Structure 1
Amino acid sequence: MMKGTIGIVDDQQLFLKTVGMFVNTFPDFEVILYASNGPDLLQKLKSQNPLPDILLIDVNMPEMEGAEIVSTIRKTYPSIKMAALSMMEDSQNVIRMIKAGCCAYLLKNMNPNELELALKEILLRGFYNTYVTNMCYQEMFNKDSIDLKDREREFLELACSDLTYQQIASKMFLSIKTIDGYRAALFEKFQVKSRVGLVLEAIRQNVISV
């Protein structure tokens, strides 16, 4: 069986090599490309044969931001799947990377076992959602669209911005307690446990467009 091939892009050399070391211990994967920034990656891809199946791309780098790299790769090498790597868990970064073309948003402090699982899911399913737990991915593809009330949809769209919950409450002319109720209801409907997870699932399921 052919191993899945991985490329890693990160400006921190120690992290770059450490992740590569872990990936090379996974029986189904091997690292075939290391790059320290966007221009370095684009240069190396020109002569890379075969191309990596998956690229792990740091969100914040000098010269080219992660989202710019992802957008460029998506147009030039559409066969490559891409996952964001970051220490940041804010919805703004998640939205930017997913919109650019990433199929997963991975945290740098994740367990190596979860990284292996993420790579397998990306290769097999085309995406990996770190914020959805105890859910069958096949069901995620087949399930009916989530039924949202008008006010829930309005809250969801505002939750996908950089507004705080207090600011959302003011904008919707509601109490923070009511907003907490909407948040809890949507966490339940989307089977997520965080605002970032809610944003990611809403985008992935095309419930909202951002």
Structure 2
Amino acid sequence: MNATIGIVEDQQLILKSLEMLVNSFSHFDVVLSATNGLDLFEKLDQHFSIPDILLIDVRMPLMDGVEVAVKLKKNYPAIKVVALSGLDDSMSVVKMIKSGCCAYLLKSMNLDDLEFALEEIWAKGYYNSRITDMGYQETNLKLMDLKENEMEFLKLACTDLTYHEIASIMCLSIKTIDGYRATLFDKFQVRNRIGLILEVLRHNLIAFPQAKDSI
């Protein structure tokens, strides 16, 4: 049996293109599409087909991605909610994951990566494209021995600050900050900053403000 997919995207051309692309994948069928959050919940409340996985845009009119994700988590907890966005900034990732998304995918990704991501989400309930090996074992945080300066760097890295701004705040050289970055990428087995943020969130290493429930 194929997994069922829903898509929420306010741009009609992108919405229709995504429908065709996902329907071309071997193990997935699009059963629901909506142009915004209100349209989505109207269809869900009318007992439209409830998808296994729901791809939602981050920036939308009427209800943004965070509002949609929070309401889905509250009212339809069985749906695996995935952010699919053109935004790759740190705070967008943090907000969507903390709002209940199990993955953050970029619209610029190629088709093979999108299909693989959907397969991973369907099988495991979680996907981080920045992890080097998707078959990795659970990271042992005790063995990581995160130092105080590394924890401070992690907190600042989970913001929109540049590495140069982080260096200034920590009163360190950019070379030292680059060293922290490389060390933590290696410890968490990730390839870049967004991957690092997703792992920090997964391990609850930093207390982020919780998203408020939508009405």
Asked if TM exceeds 0.5, the reply is: yes
Divergent runs of 4+, >6 A: none
Aligned amino acid, residue 113 of structure 2: E
List alignment gaps of at least 5 residues for structure 1: none
| Count of matched residue pairs | 206
List alignment gaps of at least 5 residues for structure 2: 209-215
Residues 104-157 of structure 1: per-residue CA shift (max 9 Å, x gap): 0001011111111111111111111011123414x1xx3422331111011111
* Distance in 2, Cα, partners of 1:143 & 1:97: 23
Corresponding position of 1:55 = 54
* Distance in 1, Cα, partners of 2:132 & 2:21: 23
Corresponding position of 1:14 = 13
1:144 paired with 2:140, answer yes
Deviation of 1:49 after TM superposition, in Å, equals: 4.6
Corresponding position of 1:130 = 129
Deviation of 1:209 after TM superposition, in Å, equals: 2.8
* Distance in 2, Cα, partners of 1:114 & 1:157: 29
Aligned amino acid, residue 163 of structure 1: L
1:187 paired with 2:185, answer yes
Measured on the aligned residues, the alpha-carbon RMSD in Å equals 1.3
Aligned amino acid, residue 147 of structure 1: D
SS at match of 2:7: strand
Deviation of 1:81 after TM superposition, in Å, equals: 0.6
Aligned-pair identity (%): 57
Residues 46-92 of structure 1: per-residue CA shift (max 9 Å, x gap): 12354110100001111111111101111011111110011111101
How high is the TM-score relative to the length of structure 1? 0.93
How high is the TM-score relative to the length of structure 2? 0.91
* Distance in 1, Cα, partners of 2:207 & 2:117: 25
**Larger RCO (alpha carbons 8 Å, 6+ apart):** 2
